[in-house]
DNA sequence: ACCTGAACACCGTTCAAGT
DNA sequence: ACCTGAACACCGTTCAAGT
């Protein structure tokens, strides 16, 4: 699994094949099948391995907002450590059962501390996780990772009659490139404010 | 492209191969290469085709919240119409340049109407889009689509000593299955409230 | 010049042939 | 019984051989 993860991290998911993994381990491809039933099991193993890296710092006494922030940063750090696996992790999260329990406990304990009802705590947890997944995916798939990545949108706007898309022009025209960067902490604060309002 | 989209919608992305597409069209596989340079171009064409289905209803006079809700529902409808392509759409959104401009205009016009500065309007748009992508992905990849899909989490909880994960037990124990469903509109309201707070 | 099938370099996995 | 390489049924794409 660690050899497979190295292949994925260094060269992307497409570089992980049973045959290349075998070559990296200097064994016959079919030998892998004595340890795992098929490639799907290999992928599930990678997801479990990576999610187990999630380290949630205990924050006794901290505000529920800071606990949620700690969770969010831990999750983002994990996502950035394995950008090539992220899509697979999100769509096959069920393979990370143990880490999912620990993550759920951490997040729901924080939201209970905010005084939310069970129904609203679960709702808030879903909103947070959906935002984290959406942000991490945008970040890892090239969109909005660093300044200048909004440039292609600006170039599109240049190639189109000037009276079209006025709001888009006003907003983007008022900002310089660093300001157009997607801001993880500011986005998280929007969601925290929304939870507080409830 | 429509034949390729039908294959993806009916049997998933893995069912789309140049050879199967050719078979569906009753032509030689290599004939496809006279219309498109490679499979990546085929996939980009699918993303553009699908994003062009996004229909954003004009809502003159409506509140900015209702305009954002209209956008969110249009996006979710699109995602649910092509669940098998969704991951590819999100990670290759740059292939949908025209629809991206129209979507950005709609969303930013609504957020300008909320009285946000350009910086905060763009930030809010990113939070909304990240949430929409995260939610749609959870919905389409089996997680949280319908009631009972939180059951595997409950079963995991059963197989573990009763003193572990107390918050998770309290929250889930207080809810019946329909209440555990992820709620799109309620989640969106959390984000709208967070934007209002700014 | 335009078109296309054979061929190449890959896949994941089955299965029979070895030990 | 355990192990593994040849073989099978696929891929995307190149390229030479046709028209």
Residue range B136-171, pLDDT digits in tens: 999 998 766 565 668 888 999 999 999 999 999 999
Residue A195 or residue B141, greater confidence:
A195
Q: What is the pLDDT of residues A76-89, one digit of tens each?
A: 999 999 999 999 99
The Cα A114–Cα A135 span in angstroms is: 24
- Pick from B87, B168, B183: CB nearest A108: B168
On the CB side of B67, CA atoms within 13 Å amount to 20
Establish whether the CB of B35 is closer than 7 Å to any nucleic acid atom in strand C.
no
The Cα A149–Cα A157 span in angstroms is: 14
If you count DSSP H runs as helices and E runs as strands, how many of each does chain A have, helices first? 10, 0
Record: contact B171-A121, CB cut-off 8 A = yes
**Extended beta strands in A58-118, E state:** none
Structure tokens at A16: 């992980």
Predicted TM-score (pTM) of the model is: 0.96
Record: contact B123-A183, CB cut-off 8 A = yes
Record: contact B101-A156, CB cut-off 8 A = yes
Record: contact A180-B122, CB cut-off 8 A = yes
Strand C bases contacted by the protein (CB, 7 Å): 3-6, 10-15
**A168 neighbourhood in chain B, CB within 8 Å:** 101, 104-105, 108
- Pick from A144, A180, A197: CB nearest B193: A197
- Reported confidence tier of residue A152, pLDDT bands at 50, 70, 90: confident
Distance (Å) of CA A194 to CA A104, A139, A189, B121, B180: 20, 23, 8, 16, 20
**B187 neighbourhood in chain A, CB within 8 Å:** 123, 126-127, 130
- For residue A146, is pLDDT > 80? no
Name the maximum alpha-carbon separation found in chain A. 64
A43 CB-contact burial (10 Å; exposed 0-12 / middle 13-18 / buried 19+): buried
Record: contact B190-A190, CB cut-off 8 A = no
- Find out whether A109 and A62 touch, Cβ atoms under 8 Å: no
Range with the poorest average pLDDT among A47-61, A135-149, B71-85? A135-149
The mean pLDDT value for A160-177 works out to 95
* Distance from the B121 Cα atom to the nearest Cα atom in chain A, whole angstroms: 8
The Cα A72–Cα B62 span in angstroms is: 34
pLDDT-flagged residues of chain B (< 70): 143-149
Phi, psi of B115 (to 5 degrees): 80, 20
Range with the poorest average pLDDT among A97-101, A136-140, A146-150, B167-171? A146-150
| Structure confidence at residue B20 (pLDDT) | 97
Closest nucleotide relative to residue B29's CA, C1' based? C4
**B144 neighbourhood in chain A, CB within 8 Å:** 126
């Amino acid at each position: 699994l660690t050899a497979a993860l190295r292949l994925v991290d260094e060269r992307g998911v497409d570089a992980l094949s049973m045959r290349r993994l075998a070559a990296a381990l200097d064994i016959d491809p079919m030998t892998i099948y004595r340890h795992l039933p098929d490639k799907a099991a290999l992928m599930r193993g990678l997801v479990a391995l990576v999610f187990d890296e999630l380290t949630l710092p205990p924050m006794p006494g901290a505000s529920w907002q800071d606990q949620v922030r700690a969770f969010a940063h831990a999750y983002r750090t994990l996502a950035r450590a394995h950008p090539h696996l992220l899509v697979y992790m999100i769509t096959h999260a069920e393979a990370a059962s143990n880490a999912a329990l620990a993550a759920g406990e951490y997040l729901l304990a924080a939201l209970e501390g905010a005084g939310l009802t069970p129904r609203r705590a679960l709702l808030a947890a879903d909103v947070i996780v959906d935002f984290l997944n959406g942000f991490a995916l945008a970040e890892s798939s090239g969109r909005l990772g660093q300044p200048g990545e909004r440039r292609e949108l600006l170039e599109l706007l240049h190639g189109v009659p000037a009276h079209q898309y006025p709001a888009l022009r006003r907003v983007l025209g008022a900002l310089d490139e660093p300001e157009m960067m997607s801001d993880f902490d500011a986005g998280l604060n929007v969601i925290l404010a929304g939870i507080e309002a409830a």
